[in-house]
Amino acid sequence: MTGVAAALVAQVTNTSLQQEYISTIHWLVPALWTSTLVFALLSVYYSFLLHHYLGGFACASDLREAFTHRGLSPALVREEERRLPSLTAAVKVWAPTYLLALAIGSYIGTIGVYWGVAWRMDLQGRGEGSRNVCLHPFTLPLVSLADDGLCRYLYSSS
């Protein structure tokens, strides 16, 4: 499911890179959208690798053995450490979700930067009397609230 969501984020980001004024706007906006695209594609890739990795186990004991801590020398590992999850397994499981949250947060933040830069450049002839004057001061708090809420939802559902 994470791979599908990340593919959708990559598609929306790719569409955003084709907006009308993207060639005349500050270089920061296309750079941030490109980084969002990279994060989303890495999330898709790691999601595929995780699916392939988890599908290769024949039984639950193989999965338990792969996901528990293995020391350099089995004689030196204490009994309580044998039941701890390994760091590499945790990274394999959580990497797609973290990259997806990073891609979504980066996309939302880039939208705010795009609105702010586009408003300052007066691209469509909108002046001081425009309602868009109110958009920019509220962009950063809205982005931070949306990103925080989204990350909490993603991490609690995983």
Is the predicted pLDDT of residue 145 greater than 80, yes or no? no
Quick: pLDDT tens for 41-82.
999 999 998 888 888 888 877 777 777 766 545 565 566 555
pLDDT of res. 66? 74
Give the angle 80-84-87 at the CA atoms, nearest 5°.
Answer: 145
Q: Mean pLDDT lowest for which of 13-17, 20-24, 69-73, 95-99?
A: 69-73
Average pLDDT of the chain, as a whole number: 75
pLDDT of res. 132? 47
Is the predicted pLDDT of residue 40 greater than 90, yes or no? yes
Into how many domains does the chain fold? 1
Cα separation, 123 vs 127, in Å, equals 10
67 is in which domain, residue-wise? Answer: 2-157
Q: How confident is the model at residue 133 (pLDDT cuts 50, 70, 90)?
A: very low
CA atoms within 13 A on the CB side of 60: 0
Please compute the mean of the pLDDT values over residues 18-33 and round it to a whole number.
83
Burial class of residue 30 in the structure, from the number of CB atoms within 10 Å of its CB (0-12 exposed, 13-18 middle, 19+ buried): middle
Cα separation, 59 vs 80, in Å, equals 23
Q: Check if the beta carbon of residue 32 is closer than 8 Å to that of residue 9.
A: no
Cα separation, 74 vs 8, in Å, equals 44
pLDDT of res. 60? 78
pLDDT of res. 146? 58
Cα separation, 12 vs 15, in Å, equals 5
CA 2 to chain centre: 10
